[in-house]
Every structure is written in C-alpha cells, then in structure tokens.
C-alpha cells in the first residue's frame, strides 16, 4: 500500500550498467536452476545459460520486440523487481511472453 494513496511505483528501462547487472544475475540464476533440475552439469551451466540469454537478447535491451524494465518504488526508494516481456507472433496471432 502506498502512503496517502499516491502511486509511487514506476517502470524504468534497463540499459547500460543496469542491464549488464541484470544479465549477470539472470545468467547465474538460470544456470543454477538448470543444474538443480539435473539438465546441465555445473561445469557447462554458466556458458550454456549465457549462450541462451544472448540468443534471446542478441541486441541486449534494444532487441526488437523485447522490453526490459526495472520496477522502482519511489517511496522506499529502491528497485523492487524486474519485468521482461516480448511480443511474439505465433502464426495465428500475436501474444506476449512475460
């Protein structure tokens, strides 16, 4: 709940250092998830995760039809989350991947 009913949450585009930090965490967490699931060995996980992330976001935060945002709460003030969504065309219509 925000104080006095004011909306203090906003989306800020991820770019530059903020994107690099997000990518680093994303790769590390994705690799760890794959190792825990038994899909990848620990020795290969980080390289494979980086390759997959870079395949999805070849132009980083400016990749066409991909949108990456930091969710900021100005009341704290701090980042409270990250949102990544992409527009997809499935051949029968458009959808959004979140």
CA angle 9, 13, 15 (to 5 degrees): 140
Distances 6 to 13, 20, 50 between C-alpha atoms, Å: 22, 31, 39
pTM of the model: 0.84
d(CA 23, CA 29): 10
The number of folded domains in the chain is 1
d(CA 36, CA 33): 5
Tell me whether residue 34 is in a domain: yes
Residue linked to tokens 């965490």: 25
Tell me whether residue 1 is in a domain: no
- Classify residue 36 as exposed, middle or buried by CB count within 10 Å of its CB (0-12, 13-18, 19+): exposed
Tell me whether residue 71 is in a domain: yes
pLDDT in tens, 40-70: 999 999 999 999 999 999 999 999 999 999 9
Tell me whether residue 48 is in a domain: yes
Domain interval for residue 45 = 6-97
The arithmetic mean of pLDDT across residues 27-44, rounded, is 98
Tell me whether residue 92 is in a domain: yes
């Amino acid at each position: 709940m925000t104080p006095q009913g004011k909306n203090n949450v906003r989306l800020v585009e991820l770019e530059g250092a903020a994107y690099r930090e997000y990518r680093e965490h994303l790769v590390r967490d994705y690799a760890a998830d794959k190792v825990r699931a038994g899909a990848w060995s620990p020795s290969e996980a980080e390289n494979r995760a980086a390759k997959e992330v870079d395949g999805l976001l070849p132009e980083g935060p400016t990749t066409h039809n991909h949108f990456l945002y930091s969710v900021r709460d100005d009341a704290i003030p701090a980042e409270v989350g990250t949102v990544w969504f992409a527009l997809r065309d499935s051949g029968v219509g458009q959808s959004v991947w979140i």
